[in-house]
Amino acid sequence: MIVSALLTSVGINTVLCVLFITLYSILRKQPSNYEVYVPRLLVEGTSKRRSHFNLERLIPSASWVAKAWRLSEEELYSLSGLDGVVFMRIITFRCFCNGKKATIAVASAAFSRNITVCSVTATAIYNHTTTTFMVFVKIFTFAGVIGIFVLLPVNCWGNQLQDFDVANFTSNSLDVFTISNVNSGSKWLWVHFCAVYVVTGFICVLLFYEYKHVSSRRISYFYSSKPQPHHFTILVNSIPTSSSSVSESVDSFFKELYPSAYLSHVVVRRTSKIRSLLNDANNMYKRVAQLQPDPTKQKIRNGAFSRLFGRKTNHIERYEKKLEEIEENVKLRQSEASLTGEARAAFVFFRTRFAAAAAFHLQQSVNPTQWTTEWAPEPRDVYWPFFSESFIRRWISKLVVVLVSIVFTTLFLLPVVFVQGLTNLSQLKTLFPFLTSILTIKFVSQIITGYLPSLILQLFLQLVPPAMEFLSTIQGYISHSDIEMSATSKVLWFTIWNVFFATAFSGSILSMMFIILDPKVIPGKLAIVVPAQASFFITYVVTSGWTSVSSELFRIFPYILNLITRLFKSPDDEFELPYMPYHKDIPRVLFFGLLGITYFFLAPLILPFVLAYFCLAYIIYKNQGL
């Protein structure tokens, strides 16, 4: 890829970023869009809909940028809690102020269950992501200075591949800016080795202080918060039963083992049919509420309106009758569940948190498949479908999900290899001779090699988070937090394998098809083609990073959905607050950090683009936290 192709990709994505940010600054001011862009403020009552027209609504403004920039960590803590703080520290790694940051700290703070601070993992992950941002910005500011002012001139000074043409800058290949252009056996390679050790040491120091800072904040948050019921509770699964009921087995078992600490228990019952009925009742209630006439508005009921009101009255009466039928069915199902609906699981309550922690960590039975324990999630965080499943079935579910994830990850190599073929013009002309005449057009070749590959890969990657989230739901977890964390891990590993390793080596394999039979030259070829993949990763950061994080502001799909639903509901109807797609955002943030750290000495030109991404994410995610 040449410099002009990279500049084309950067130009296209910069225009898209400016467009998304401009649309957001206008649409967020429209009262009809408050549910999309300021839902929390609308629910809290700090932002109210204004019906009068104001010309200022149609003029883009950057006031939200200044507000997000001025937001301190303590203010973010009071607004979004510990989770919001940690999430932002992930992004910044404290570039703009003295502080302590660490990706590891974020991970341990958000995902550790030893001290239950935030029971909803989504919130913990969000805070975790904030911390990482701060860490990465500081890392790439430091690495950027070394990479741009030290390593980049050394790479351009070499002529292993070609000489650097200052007069015709845009026609230079991006390989000139990589380590592969340094002459073989040159002593200048020691500069790259020294840079690796210096930056690695700097990162380790930052991680140490960040871990220390986040850990202290978690502990202080834990001691300053009131004890919650789930802190004293464990969930017991695979309860063996004989002639006695599950409730009697649990009561006798824990009274014998923990006579002074055991308090009580609640047996989990199979209530899927009851939940289905309650969902139907909730939907029916919403319909009745929408059809109810507004008593504050006086309307003349005659003519067509009288007939319309009569139809609404009939609908209301019919829905009310259905609600009464659902109520009777719920009572019937409840009585059935109380008699025969016991599952082999129970929530067990203790008098102290220490006793609950001890019962969680100790093996309760000689048979490890019976009396299995885990921390009880918050009531709002419970995921019920796998409560009644046996240990063996949950274990099989996890095994099947792992196998399916491996197959899915492997099959995804096909679009990766296809995308890599688009980055090399000579390969395209060889594989598709009929495109030769089209590829001679300079602008078309720049679009195909500079923008199209990363765009195609990004479109394919949109399928990954929902697929991994679905697989996590059938893996046997008992809380939405565990599902979110599992999906996050799956998406992260998928991205590392298919976008990082597979992209680098698929490009290498395509370049070595004719010399694969001579193993002696493979290391030398890898030393050339792996750094050469930096051109793709740079465009990937611009396309998947800049554009995706700016589209987080625009929220195009929620905006379109709001336009559609607005036709069927009144502005005063209740709505559910949206949540951050953590299993999409965290892997992206961590992956860009991985790209910058691993490629800064191979191709230092990637550092300004990665740093620009984290700076943009710092402002946008802070705004989203508000």
| Range of weakest confidence among 221-230, 279-288, 377-386, 465-474 | 279-288
pLDDT at 544: 78
Res 438: pLDDT? 65
Cα 141 to Cα 572: distance, rounded to the nearest angstrom: 47
Q: What is the mean pLDDT of residues 538-561?
A: 83
The pLDDT, as a whole number, for residue 347 is 92
Coil, strand or helix at 221:
helix
The C-alpha atoms of residue 101 and residue 204 are separated, in whole angstroms, by 10
* All residues at 6 or more sequence positions from 471 whose CB lies less than 8 Å from its CB, including other chains: 401, 404, 405, 487, 490
For residue 499, the model assigns a pLDDT of 80
Joined together, the tokens standing for residue 422 give 């688009």
Beta bridge partners of 521: none
Q: How far apart are CA 344 and CA 342, in angstroms?
A: 7
pLDDT tens digits for range 67-104: 888 888 888 888 777 777 887 887 875 333 333 333 33
Span 170-198, mean pLDDT? 83
Residue 132 pLDDT class (50, 70, 90 cuts)? very low
Per-residue model confidence (pLDDT) at position 403: 92
What is the rounded distance in angstroms from the CA atom of residue 198 to the CA atom of residue 577? Answer: 45
| Element at 263 (helix H, strand E) | strand 262-269
Instruction: State how far the Cα of 583 lies from the Cα of 580, in Å rounded to an integer.
Output: 9
Q: What is the predicted pLDDT for the residue at 428?
A: 57
The DSSP code sequence of 143-175 is: HHHHIIIIIHHHHHH--SS----STTGGGSBGG
Residue entry with tokens 């910069």: 14
SS3 312: helix
The residues that bridge with 375 in the sheet, in sequence order, are: 234
How far is the CA of 536 from the CAs of 148, 415, 530, in angstroms? 19, 14, 11
- Alpha-carbon distance of 507 to 127, in angstroms, equals 37
C-beta of residue 176 within 8 angstroms of C-beta of residue 161: yes
Name which residue leads in pLDDT, 198 or 417.
198
Average pLDDT over residues 241-259: 84
- SS3 at position 528: helix
* Numbers of helices and strands, H then E, in the chain: 28, 4
Closest by CA to 367, choosing from 543, 479, 239, is 239
Check if the beta carbon of residue 446 is closer than 8 Å to that of residue 425.
no
pLDDT value for 322: 76
What per-residue confidence (pLDDT) applies to 262? 93
What is the strand order of the sheet 233-237 is part of?
A: 262-269, 342-350, 233-237, 372-375
Structure-token pair, residue 196: 């690796």
Q: What is the dihedral of CA 454, 456, 461, 466, to 10 degrees?
A: 150
pLDDT of residue 120: 36
pLDDT tens, position by position, 105-125: 333 333 333 333 333 333 343
Give the pLDDT of residue 76. 83
More confident residue, 432 or 541: 541
Residue 373 predicted with pLDDT over 70:
yes
311: pLDDT strictly greater than 70: no
**Alpha-carbon distances of 497 from 400, 404, 411, 450, 502, rounded to whole Å:** 20, 15, 12, 22, 6
Tell which wins on pLDDT, 272 or 257: 257
Could you identify the residue written with the tokens 């102290």? 352
Average pLDDT over residues 498-508: 70
In this predicted model, which residue has the larger pLDDT, 292 or 412?
Answer: 412
Q: Where are the domains of the chain?
A: 230-390, 392-528
Query: What SS3 state is found at 342?
Result: strand
> Tell me: the pLDDT tens digits for 550-594?
888 888 888 888 888 777 665 555 566 777 777 888 888 888 888
**Measured over all CA atoms, what is the biggest interatomic distance in the chain, rounded to whole angstroms?**
95
250/508: higher pLDDT: 250
